[in-house]
Amino acid sequence: MTTYIVLLGPPGVGKGTQAKILSEKTGLAHISSGDLFRENLKNQTELGKLAQTYMTKGELVPDDVTIAMIRDRLSRPDCKEGAILDGFPRTPAQADALETMLKDFNGHVDVVPFVTADANVLIERLGGRWTCRANGHIFNEKSNPPKNEKVCDFDGSELYQRDDDKEETVKRRIEVYFDQTSPLISYYRDHGKLVEIDGTQSIDQVTQDLLTAVKK
Ligand code: AMP
């Protein structure tokens, strides 16, 4: 049996943080489309260079290349039991493509936790976000500070502020989310898969709610 979980929600709501915790607790692979693009960028692949032109503006990378990247990632052995998808799908075309590709892996989207918060909370969180270079662990200078400034608690690597966490780009990313990604809320609700979770709660409480949603 496979389990595929799609974490839905705006940028900055805590999907990345929660996906990592959920992955540890369930043993399912964590697939973050943003992390995959950033890895490609670090390695200066053609995909990374292409993605960068969109990412720096806060726009979405075109569907065809994004879908191909996720298909490739889902076909790796660590996704045999399923996966937690964080940041994908982000458009209705990506959601359709996901359904089609999961059939090839004998699965389907099981549950879609939708983590919510108001735009002002997101802007504040993204502005104070620090990300670990080695593994993408996420901290926040106010709500979840690292033990030592600019050092990851988990792997000791350097923490940095993402270029696209700058205020102007953040505003565009949130707009893009409302324009292009929010239609997925009704798409998954209509399919009976959506479970709404309040993303302004403590990290622990959000994790508890997610585990409850996933176990159902
Ligand atoms: P994230 O780390 O999820 O905030 O993603 C960072 C950036 O990567 C986004 O602003 C997009 O430019 C790009 N990106 C990530 N996931 C997708 C996706 N599913 N479709 C298109 N672009 C994406």
Question: For position 168, what pLDDT does the model report?
Answer: 87
Number of domains in the chain: 1
Clarify whether 129 is annotated catalytic.
Answer: yes
User: For 66-119, how does the pLDDT look when each residue is reduced to its tens digit (9 = 90+)?
Assistant: 999 999 999 999 999 999 999 999 999 999 999 999 999 989 999 999 999 999
Q: Is the pLDDT of residue 180 over 80?
A: yes
Report the C-alpha gap between 51 and 190 in whole angstroms. Answer: 31
d(CA 90, CA 180): 7
Of 15, 38, 73, 125, which is the active-site residue?
15
If you measure from the C-alpha of residue 201 to the centroid of ligand 1, how many angstroms do you get, rounded to a whole number? 24
C-alpha angle with apex 77: 72 to 83, nearest 5 degrees?
75
Taking 90 as the threshold, does the pLDDT of residue 64 lie above it?
yes
Residues having CB within 6 Å of any atom of ligand 1: 11, 33-34, 37, 54-55, 58-61, 66, 87-88, 90, 94, 164, 173
Phi and psi of 136, rounded to 5°?
70, 20
Residue 145 sits at φ, ψ, to 5 deg, of: -70, 150
HEC readout, 34-90: HHHHHHHHHCCCHHHHHHHHHHCCCCCCCHHHHHHHHHHHHCCHHHCCEEEEECCCC
100 three-class SS: helix
Residue 207, pLDDT score? 98
The percentage of the chain sitting over the pLDDT mark of 90, rounded to a whole number, equals: 94
Neighbours of 80 (CB within 10 A): 11
Check residue 102 and give its pLDDT. 96
Active site residue 90: yes
> Is residue 167 very low, low, confident or very high in pLDDT (cuts 50, 70, 90)?
confident
Please state, in angstroms and as integers, the Cα–Cα distance from residue 80 to each residue in 5, 54, 88, 172, 201, following that order.
14, 31, 18, 36, 32
Domain of residue 54, residue span:
3-215
What pLDDT is attached to residue 181? 96
CATH code, domain with 127: 3.40.50.300
Residue 133 is among the residues annotated as catalytic for this protein? no
Tell me the pTM. Answer: 0.94
Active-site annotation holder among 20, 38, 73, 90 = 90
Q: Is 15 a catalytic residue?
A: yes
Residue among 61, 114, 50 nearest 91 (CA): 61
